[in-house]
Amino acid sequence: MIAIVDYGMGNLLSVYNALEMLGAKPKVCSHAAELQDAERIILPGVGAFRDCMKHLAEGGFVEALQEAVLQRARPIFGICLGMQAMARTSSEGGRHQGLGWFAADVVRLTPSDPSLRVPQIGWNETEHRRGSPMFAGLPSKVDFYFVHSYSMKCDDPATVEATCDYGGAVTAAVRKDNIFATQFHPEKSQDHGLKMLENFLRWNP
C-alpha cells in the first residue's frame, strides 16, 4: 500500500491522481496507525512549517513516521513542505523544530536578483546528481514546478540530490538512505513529474 499522509495540509488529490495514473493503489491515511501497513509513504505539504509540525504531532504522525521510516526503513517521498519538515529546524515565523532526518535548516529564499519575487512560483530548471535513481530516465537538466518561499540549507552536500538557480543555488531535492524529497511538486510537473513518481514506486534503497 502506498500511503499518502493526510495531516490537513497537503495537495492530496493531485498526488493521488498521479499515482493512480501510474497504476499504483494509493491510500490517503488520516490516522497514524494506518502507516503500519504502508510499503511506501508520501508526505505532501502546502502551508507554514509551524502548522505542519503541529498537525503532524497532534495526529500522532511524528511517532508513526519515525517508526515506519527510521526503524522499518520504508521508502518515503516528501513533497514541498513535506521535504522541509524533514529538516532539523525552520526559521519561518520563528524557530521551529522539524523531524531532524537531515542535517539541514529551512531558511527564507533570498535571491541575489531583486527582480526575482518571493515566493518562487512556476517552472524552473533543475540539475540533478548523475546516477540518481530518482531522476532515472530524465534529462540532466529538467523543468519542474515550484511554489515556495523557504528552502533547505544542508550541512552535507552529499545529501543534495538536485538544485535549481533562483538568484543563487536552491536545494531542489535531497536523498539519504530510504528518504527522498523534493522542493518542487512532481504531481504538478506533467510527464517529468510522473516519471519521478514512477521511479519512486520502483526504488529499492
Instruction: Name the pTM for this structure.
Output: 0.96
User: What does the alpha-carbon distance between residue 77 and residue 4 come to, in Å, rounded to a whole number?
Assistant: 10
User: What does the alpha-carbon distance between residue 131 and residue 137 come to, in Å, rounded to a whole number?
Assistant: 10
User: What does the alpha-carbon distance between residue 156 and residue 141 come to, in Å, rounded to a whole number?
Assistant: 22
In the block, residue with C-alpha cell 517521498: 77
* Catalytic positions: 80, 185, 187
User: What does the alpha-carbon distance between residue 131 and residue 135 come to, in Å, rounded to a whole number?
Assistant: 8
- Number of domains forming the structure of the chain: 1
- pLDDT over 90 (residue 11): no
153 φ, ψ (degrees, to nearest 5): -110, 115
Domain that holds residue 86: 2-202
Q: What is the CATH number of the domain that holds 154?
A: 3.40.50.880
User: What does the alpha-carbon distance between residue 111 and residue 94 come to, in Å, rounded to a whole number?
Assistant: 21
Residues 105-141 have pLDDT tens digits of: 999 999 999 899 999 999 999 999 999 999 999 999 9
